[in-house]
């Protein structure tokens, strides 16, 4: 951790629960100040109280944000920038796990996931890069998913496509900004216990990491400012290669 982290501010979207809330806890414990936003402000309030109880010297600013409201995204990001003067890192984490097999009458669910996970992430990326370009500094972090490595079946089809989309958005930025002061990281989390995947029973799925452990590996990768990482690295880094290249009959068995 850098000596200056006590004055560094991290903006996290979708911070009211799951991976976002746990990242907030772990970054606060490392001495970072936080700009947290989500739709559910009562959950943000209790998260802030918990963080300040652990360390009264932390600064935690909160704002309500529905990421599908474009104007509100720009407004909230700019307001956080005004609060802190400098935003050192922005983590685009807000997402939705709804979905249904295509052609089964649930277009509304797939559309909602596409709008939240891709179009809203594009808007957050615009708002984040506006801040970083003005500062000529910053660390842009996109939370994708291991499902992005290859098209996925059934309820995951649209979700996986959106996660591939946001990964490519961030990779495009990384190519543009390579060697410049603005850093870009794309994370591909595997199964990590969170509100979004509470439908997956951890007992039945031995690859499910606890929220705390899963996020610890995310925070570590973010602090190292890696270009991209599968998290936790085991089993997901090797498994990702298999998922991507396995012939279809084997891929079908894997998933």
Hey, which residues are catalytic here? 159
Nearest residue to 177 (alpha-carbon basis) of 214, 148, 136: 136
Q: Cα separation of 142 and 125, whole Å? A: 9
Percentages helix, strand, coil for the chain, rounded to the nearest 5?
A: 55, 15, 30
Contact indicator for 182, 224 with CB cutoff of 8 Å: no
Q: Cα separation of 21 and 4, whole Å? A: 23
143 Cβ partners below 8 Å, 6+ apart? 19, 91, 92, 93, 95, 187, 189, 218
């Amino acid at each position: 951790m850098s000596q200056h982290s006590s004055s560094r501010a991290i903006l996290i979207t979708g911070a009211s629960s799951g991976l976002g809330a746990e990242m907030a806890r772990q970054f606060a414990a490392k001495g970072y100040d936080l700009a947290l936003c989500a739709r559910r402000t009562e959950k943000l309030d209790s998260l802030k109280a918990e963080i300040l109880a652990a360390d009264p010297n932390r600064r935690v600013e909160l704002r309500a944000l529905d990421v599908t409201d474009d104007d509100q995204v720009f407004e909230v990001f700019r307001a956080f920038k005004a609060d802190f003067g400098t935003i050192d890192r922005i983590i685009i984490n807000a997402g939705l796990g709804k979905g249904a097999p295509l052609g089964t009458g649930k277009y509304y669910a797939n559309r909602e996931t596409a709008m939240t996970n891709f179009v809203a992430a594009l808007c957050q990326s615009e708002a984040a890069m506006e801040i970083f370009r003005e500062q000529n500094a910053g660390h842009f972090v996109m939370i994708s998913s291991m499902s992005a490595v290859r098209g996925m079946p059934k309820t995951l089809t649209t979700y996986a496509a959106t996660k591939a989309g946001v990964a490519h958005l961030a990779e495009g930025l990384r190519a543009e900004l390579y060697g410049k002061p603005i850093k870009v990281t794309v994370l591909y989390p595997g199964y990590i216990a969170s509100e979004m995947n509470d439908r997956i029973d951890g007992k039945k799925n031995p690859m499910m990491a606890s929220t705390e452990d899963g996020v610890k590996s995310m925070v570590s990768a973010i602090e190292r400012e890696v270009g991209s990482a599968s998290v936790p690295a085991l089993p997901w880094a090797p498994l990702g290669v298999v998922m991507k290249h396995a012939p279809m009959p084997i891929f079908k068995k894997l998933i």
